[in-house]
Amino acid sequence: MKERIISFIDDKLKQFDPVWLAENGKGGQRTRYRDDGSGIARYREWRGVEDTFQDYTAWLKNLGYMGAMVAKDPIKVMKGIWEYRWMGSFLASFAFVDRIYEGYRGRELDIANIHGNAIVRILTLRIGLILHNDKRLGGGEMTDKMIGLDETIPPLFTAGFPTLNAEPMQTMPEFVVCDVDQHLDPYYIDVAESYGLAPDVCSRCSAETGVAIDDAFPVFGKLVLSTNQPCNASEATSMFQRRRFHQKGIEDYPFVFAMQHNTKNGNEYSKEELRQAIQKIEEVYDVKYDWNALFEKAKNMNHQNQIELEKWEIFATPYSPLSGINESLYKLVEWALVNGHDEYFNEIDDKVIGIMRQAVRDKYVPYKGKTRHRAFLWGPSAMYYTDFPTWAQNCWGIDIVLNMDSTMGHNMIDTEDPEQALEDLAKFSEKGVMRHHAVGGWDNVNAVWEWANRLNCDMVICNDNVACKGMNGVHALLEEQAQQLGFHFVFLPHDLEDCRTIPRKEIRKAINDYMSIVMGEEPLDATLVDFDDAEAW
C-alpha cells in the first residue's frame, strides 16, 4: 500500500524531478534555477518521495546544528557575523550543500547526507568555539589555552595536550569558507595585491595574506605554529601572517617539514621538528606532553585509516555509492580538521563502510548506471567551490572515483611506544593536505597513474593551477605520460581561489570540449553544458 502511494506521488510530481526531465529531453538540473547567474534555484530538487524526505530531514538537521551554535552564545555569534566578512560567507552553506549533492539519489544520497551532517556539525562546533574564545569579541575561558596551528599541520599530535585546544588558524577565515562562497577570496586577494604584493602567486596564499593584512583572523592563544606545508608559497604567506600575530601578542613558531618526504633523512628531520614543536608548546603553556592521551586519539585515527584502506578496495569496484565531492570533502574535513580528535567521526565511518559493504554484496550500481568514465582527479580546492565532480557526473557521466588529496597520511600510528609513535606521526604529518602528490619529487606526482590503474580508471583529470610554478613545470611530462599509458587525460585550467581569472564556466568548458570534440559523446543533461553562474556563491 505504502509503495503504491509513493509511486503514485512520484509519478504525479516527476515533472519537478530534474533527472527525469533530462532523461526525457524536457529539461534538466538547470531548469529549476533563476536566469540571473545567481545560482539560486527557484525550488529545490524533487528526488521522489523517499529521497526528498531523506534530504529534507538532513536539511533540518543542519538547521538544528546552526541553531545550536547560535543558541550557545548568540551575542558572540552575532558579533562575529558583524566583524568578519568570512562569517557572512558561511550563510551560503545551505546552498553549498544543495549544490554539491545535486542529482544524488538512493545510497549515494544516504552517504552524502550522513557526511554532510557530520561536516556541518563539526564546523558549527568549531566556529562556535573560536568565536566564543576570540579576544576581539571579548574572549572566553579557553582563550589562553588555545594553540593556533597553520591549517595544513595535521592536529593529531596536539592530542598529547588534553588541557589545550588546537585550532587551525586559516580554516574558518579562508580554507573552508572559500569553497562555500567563491566571491570571498577575491576580496582578500585584492587586499594583498593592493598592499603591493605580486599578483601572479598562488591565490590561496595570497588570500591568507589578505586575511592577515585585513586584520580578519580571530584572535586566540599564546602561540601559533606556522609551517612550510604544503609548499614554498606557504612559507611566504607565513611570514606576513606572523607579523599580524605578533601585533596581537601571539608568538610564532615555524614548524618545518621535510620537502623530500619519501626519504629516510627527510623523515628523521621531520621527526626532530615534531619533537621540538612539542617542546615549544610545553614551554609556552607550561604543560607536560601526555603520551597516553595521544595514544587514545591515535587509535581513533588508526581506525579511520583502516576503514579508509577498505574504502579504496571498494572504490576499485563499480559498486561504490561513495565518490566525487562526497568522498573528498568529507575526507578533507575528517583528516585535516578532526584528525582523530572526535570519536563521532569514527561512528560515521562505521556507518558509511556498512552501507558500502552492503552495496558490494548487492552489486549496487550507483548513479542509476549512468557512469561512462571512471576518473582519478588530481584536484586541490578549486574542485569544491566549482562543485566540479558533481557536475562532471551529472553532465557527462564522469565519476570522480578518488581525488589525490584523499590519499593523505594513511600509515598507522604506534599506540604504545612514544619514540615509534613520533616517527609514525612525522611520516603521517608530512603527507598532509595538497602534499602527498604535489611536492617531494617527481615520483609523487607521477603516482597518479598508479592510482588510476589501481582504481580501474580510464581517465585522469589534472587541475592546472595557472599560478602554481611547481606544477606548471610538470605539465608536458604528464601529457607525455598520459599518451604513453593510454589514459584519457584532461588539464583543467583554474586559478585556485580566484574565480575571476578562470571562471567556473571556463573550467567546465575544458571538459565539454574534450567530451564532445575528442570523445564525440553527448551530454547526459544538456542544461548543464553551458550556463552562467558567475554571480553564484
Residues 415, 298 contacting (CB under 8 angstroms): yes
Q: Does 43 bind another protein (CB under 8 A)?
A: yes
Give 81 or 307: the residue with its C-beta nearer to another protein: 81
Pick one of 146, 172, 180, 212: the residue that binds another protein (CB under 8 A).
212
**293-312 positions binding another protein, by CB under 8 A:** none
CA distance 387 to 99: 7
Using the rule CB under 8 A, give the single segment among 115-123, 240-248, 429-437, 468-476 that binds another protein. 240-248
Nearest to 227 by CA among 252, 197, 260: 252
Q: Does 364 bind another protein (CB under 8 A)?
A: no
CA distance 537 to 182: 5
CA distance 305 to 301: 6
**388-417 positions binding another protein, by CB under 8 A:** none
CA distance 395 to 28: 10
Q: Does 40 bind another protein (CB under 8 A)?
A: yes
Give 56 or 442: the residue with its C-beta nearer to another protein: 56
Q: Minimal distance in Å, beta carbon 417 to another protein?
A: 44
CA distance 103 to 17: 9
Pick one of 14, 27, 44, 526: the residue that binds another protein (CB under 8 A).
44
Q: Minimal distance in Å, beta carbon 72 to another protein?
A: 21
Q: Is 160 left (phi over 0), alpha (psi -120 to 50) or beta?
A: alpha
Give 423 or 497: the residue with its C-beta nearer to another protein: 497
Burial 191-226 (b: 16+ CB within 10 A, else e): bbeeeebeeebbbbbbbbbbbbbbebbbbbbbbbbb
Give 188 or 378: the residue with its C-beta nearer to another protein: 188
Q: Does 216 bind another protein (CB under 8 A)?
A: yes
Helices (H) and strands (E) in the chain, counts: 23, 8
Using the rule CB under 8 A, give the single segment among 167-175, 236-244, 330-338, 419-427 that binds another protein. 236-244
Q: Does 240 bind another protein (CB under 8 A)?
A: yes
Q: What is the DSSP string of 250-272?
A: -EEEEE---SSTTSHHHHHHHHH
Q: How many chain residues are in contact with another protein, going by CB under 8 A? A: 32
Would you state the cell numbers that stand for residue 258, as one nine-digit string? Answer: 621535510
Give 43 or 141: the residue with its C-beta nearer to another protein: 43
Q: Which residues pair with 490 in a beta bridge?
A: 461
Q: Does 51 bind another protein (CB under 8 A)?
A: no
Q: What is the 3-state secondary structure (H, E, C) of 55-107?
A: HHHHHHHHHHHHHHHHHHCHHHHHHHHHHCHHHHHHHHHHHHHHHHCCCCCHH
Give 215 or 417: the residue with its C-beta nearer to another protein: 215
Per-residue binding string, another protein, 247-276, x by CB under 8 A, is x-----------------------------
Task: Please name the helix (run of DSSP H) or strand (run of DSSP E) that holds residue 392, with its range, or none.
Answer: helix 388-396
Using the rule CB under 8 A, give the single segment among 123-131, 217-225, 239-247, 284-292 that binds another protein. 239-247
Q: Minimal distance in Å, beta carbon 414 to another protein?
A: 42
Using the rule CB under 8 A, give the single segment among 21-29, 37-45, 390-398, 509-517 that binds another protein. 37-45
**73-112 positions binding another protein, by CB under 8 A:** 81-82, 85, 88, 91-92, 94-95, 98
Q: Minimal distance in Å, beta carbon 56 to another protein?
A: 5
Pick one of 12, 42, 361, 363: the residue that binds another protein (CB under 8 A).
42
Would you state the cell numbers that stand for residue 99, as one nine-digit string? Answer: 549544490
**Cβ atoms within 10 Å of 351's Cβ, excluding its own:** 15
Residue for grid cell 580528535: 341
Q: Helix axis angle, 291-315 relative to 418-430, nearest 10°? A: 50
Would you state the cell numbers that stand for residue 159, as one nine-digit string? Answer: 592530542
Q: Minimal distance in Å, beta carbon 387 to another protein?
A: 15
Q: Does 191 bind another protein (CB under 8 A)?
A: yes
Nearest to 104 by CA among 53, 51, 179, 38: 51
For another protein, the binding residues (CB under 8 A) are: 38, 40-44, 46, 56, 59-60, 63, 81-82, 85, 88, 91-92, 94-95, 98, 191, 195, 212-216, 240, 243-244, 247, 537
